[in-house]
């Protein structure tokens, strides 16, 4: 089955800095890669996704990149704000019907 | 609001008891997934249903079972509860394809005492 590795597990940055979270996957059949943000006490919320036919996608301060050859994808957050503090999960899907999640990254943005 | 509704939001019960968690998927979604999230743990896949039929099973204990009804809502039944079953239980729904977006509910926090 699919295996998704996510790093780092914790990321601490100053407000205004950039943050990068990286994930690797194992199933070459995976073709859909969503990212979720989970705030304390809430369910994961889909914030951006990318499909295998593109290498990069941007939405305001967040962007995702995908390298299918190397089987890795990354989330980039620029100009971080305290409200960006949350746990971020990457996932891979398409090889099977089940989205497989990474273990999560706790992002802390210090004012 | 994701459109996925889970009830109850909180549940406190004693060891050995049985509980039922309920999930209503987004309008039009045929697939429902159940995930367990323990403290400091990621999202552990339990089971998936598609249009009333079980489609995939993860590391779901034999004490746990689920079903999806004709109106597409789903229930997760947890029996003979143990302290270690205390966790957040999330339901997610999607259209059902291999590469379609999954939207999560707010979760049910289960505490077993």
Residue A76, pLDDT score: 98
Contact list in A for residue B93 (CB cut-off 8 A) is none
Is pLDDT at B62 greater than 90 in this prediction? yes
Q: How far is CA B45 from CA A26, A53, B36, B54, in A?
A: 17, 27, 7, 14
| Interval A83-93: pLDDT, tens | 999 999 999 98
DSSP-based three-state secondary structure for B29? coil
More confident residue, B71 or B2: B71
Residue B31, pLDDT score: 94
A104 in contact with B, Cβ within 8 Å? yes
Phi-psi group of A79: left, alpha or beta (phi > 0 → left; psi -120 to 50 → alpha; rest → beta):
left
Contact list in B for residue A96 (CB cut-off 8 A) is 56, 98
Are A32 and B107 an interchain contact pair (Cβ–Cβ within 8 Å)?
A: no
Contact list in A for residue B42 (CB cut-off 8 A) is 89, 101-104
Q: To the nearest whole number, what is the mean pLDDT of chain B?
A: 94
Residue A50, pLDDT score: 93
Count, in order, helices (H) and strands (E) of chain B. Answer: 0, 11
State the Cα–Cα distance between residues B98 and B78, nearest whole angstrom: 27
Are B2 and A98 an interchain contact pair (Cβ–Cβ within 8 Å)?
A: no
Residue B59, pLDDT score: 84
- Nearest chain B residue to A34 by CA distance is B101
Contact list in A for residue B2 (CB cut-off 8 A) is 43, 45
Confidence of residue A68 (pLDDT cuts 50, 70, 90): very high
| Interval A12-42: pLDDT, tens | 999 999 999 999 999 999 999 999 999 988 8
- Nearest chain B residue to A104 by CA distance is B42
Is pLDDT at A98 greater than 90 in this prediction? no
What is the percent of chain B where pLDDT is above 70? 99
B102 in contact with A, Cβ within 8 Å? yes
Q: To the nearest whole number, what is the mean pLDDT of chain A?
A: 94
């Amino acid at each position: 089955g699919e295996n998704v590795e996510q790093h780092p597990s914790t990321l601490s940055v100053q407000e205004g800095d950039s943050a990068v979270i990286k994930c690797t996957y194992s199933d070459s059949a995976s073709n859909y890669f969503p990212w979720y943000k989970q705030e304390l006490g809430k369910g994961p919320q889909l914030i951006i996704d990318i499909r295998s036919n593109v290498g990069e996608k941007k939405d305001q301060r967040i962007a995702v990149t995908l390298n299918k050859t190397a089987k890795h994808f990354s989330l980039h957050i620029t100009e971080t704000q305290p409200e960006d503090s949350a746990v971020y999960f990457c996932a891979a899907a398409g090889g099977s019907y089940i989205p497989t999640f990474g273990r999560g990254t706790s992002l802390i943005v210090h004012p | 609001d994701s459109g996925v509704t889970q009830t109850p939001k909180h549940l406190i019960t004693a060891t050995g008891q049985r509980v039922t968690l309920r999930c209503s998927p987004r309008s039009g979604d045929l697939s429902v997934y159940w995930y367990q999230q323990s403290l400091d743990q990621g999202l552990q896949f339990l089971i998936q249903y598609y249009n009333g039929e079980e489609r995939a099973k993860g590391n779901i204990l034999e004490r746990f079972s689920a079903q999806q009804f004709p109106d597409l809502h789903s229930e997760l039944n947890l029996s003979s509860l143990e302290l270690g079953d205390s966790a957040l239980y999330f339901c997610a729904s999607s259209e059902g394809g291999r590469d379609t977006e999954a939207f999560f509910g707010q979760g049910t926090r289960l505490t077993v005492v």
